[in-house]
Amino acid sequence: MNKNKAAFCLIAFASMLVAFGDLRSLITPLGYWLLWLTWLSIAGFYLFLKQENFSKNINLEIKILVICFIALFFGFMIASIANQDLLTLYQGFKLFVILIIGLCIIKISQSLTRNDIVIICSLVVGLSFFAFLFVKYFLPPLHLVLGDGREGTFLAAPGTLWKAGCFFSAFALAHYLSSKKPALGSLIIFSMGSFLVLEDGSRTGFLWLLISTSILITARIVSIRQKLTMTGIALIGFCITFVTYLVIFGPADNLASSAILGFERLTQGDGARLDMLITGIRQAEACLPFGCGFGATVSETYGMVVHNAYLGAIGDVGILGLIGFVLISITPFFAFYLKSQRGREAGFGSVSYVPLAALIGSAGFIFNENLHSFRTEMSEWGLFFLMLSFFLVKANDNFQYISRKNLTVIQV
């Protein structure tokens, strides 16, 4: 672990707050925000003691991120004025607080190493896994089971539980694929994450687990021309975990359908979400150019906020808000481009797959926003900032090409 234990604990706690975002159902949304504001106070004090400030060594991608957030913020302000809506003004203020918290996460994360990131993500998955089992078997009142069989808890409800299992467990798999010797612990953590995704039953989670796992293993196969021992073990381990899940945790009358609930729901389609998208398009057109105010993009048929954050953004806060939101979402990929231009090692080889896992997580955020509502909550935005921060963490050794024939190593 990095000697900077304060930075490690701060980012670990922030990660746990994201993973247990539904904690606000127990302590109220205000209580959940007070936890984040407490975190921000401690983080600010930590940065003050370290004599760190936001204006020191700001990379271009961070400047662009701030500009995009300002554009989104003005989208909220204009929509608030156009519709005389104080709720939209309040949500814009929350967005400003989210930006400050996010910048602190990015700044503090730069004191970490890639191994720290793996440990933090492993802790998140492990605690989520054991918390779920503890609640399920020892605190049934806090256990949530939906009518279609999806499970979760009041800490991480169905629809949220999969995020810890999918986004954070990808770093354990990345570490496993990067290790010279098989890291059994990382494989176990990845298996725990897969279990959480299966229990959640989310279509989004099930699909993204397959996509992210496939990308990481494909990167391993492409970059290493040696015997793929670890990859083979990973695949076998995943299959064993899946079968074990069927035998131990699946109902006796219908094991397969319980275990692959997310797959079944995926193949059945989602007429309700499609109907909401059509409604969202109509409302977005009707609310151009300034938006109709936060939360206005609602399906009349189902009485729910439209499950597409991009349609929600243009319908709620107009064209300027949508532009800001889209540019924020793709900032990690712009950061990857700049990192490549600077000649910095991005970690897409056998040395480390951690940056790739972070970039996949950023892509997962974009993917998730296509299927869920437009929100101003740290349980959503915190995931974005963590994935971006983990990608920006520097390797112990960075590689820079001096010429076409020579390769030098620069210590950072």
Q: Which is nearest to 14 in space by CA: 25, 6, 4?
A: 6
Q: How many other β-carbons are positioned within 10 Å of the β-carbon of residue 368?
A: 21
Instruction: For residue 348, give the 3-state DSSP assignment.
Output: coil
Q: Kindly write down the DSSP assignment for every residue of 74-129, as one continuous string.
A: HHHHHHHHHHT-HHHHHHHHHHHHHHHHHHHHHHHHTTS-HHHHHHHHHHHHHHHH
Name 407's bridge partners: 401
33 near 93, Cβ under 8 Å?
no
| pLDDT recorded at residue 241 | 56
Report the number of distinct structural domains present in the chain.
1
How does strand 151-153 pair with strand 298-299? unpaired
User: Measured on CA atoms in the order 30, 32, 38, 43, is the torsion positive or negative?
Assistant: negative
Q: How far apart are CA 172 and CA 406, in angstroms?
A: 33
Q: Largest Cα–Cα distance in the chain?
A: 65
177 near 216, Cβ under 8 Å?
yes
| pLDDT recorded at residue 224 | 61
Query: Comparing 98-102, 158-162, 173-177, 178-182, which segment has the lowest mean pLDDT?
Result: 178-182
Residue 234 confidence class, pLDDT cut points 50, 70, 90? low
Q: Is the pLDDT of residue 141 over 80?
A: yes
Q: How far apart are CA 152 and CA 159, in angstroms?
A: 8
What is the percent of the chain with per-residue pLDDT over 90, rounded to a whole number? 54
Residue 402 confidence class, pLDDT cut points 50, 70, 90? very low
Predicted confidence (pLDDT) per residue in 33-80, tens digit: 999 999 999 999 999 888 766 656 668 889 999 999 999 999 999 999
Q: Which domain holds residue 112?
A: 5-411
Predicted confidence (pLDDT) per residue in 336-376, tens digit: 888 877 665 554 555 678 999 999 999 999 999 988 889 99
Query: Comparing 170-184, 194-208, 244-258, 291-305, which segment has the lowest mean pLDDT?
Result: 244-258
What is the percent of the chain with per-residue pLDDT over 70, rounded to a whole number? 77
| pLDDT recorded at residue 273 | 67
Query: Comparing 14-18, 163-167, 405-409, which segment has the lowest mean pLDDT?
Result: 405-409
Backbone angles phi, psi at 398, to 5 degrees: -110, 145
Query: Comparing 203-207, 265-269, 361-365, 374-378, which segment has the lowest mean pLDDT?
Result: 265-269
Q: Is the pLDDT of residue 392 over 60?
A: yes
Q: Is the pLDDT of residue 108 over 50?
A: yes
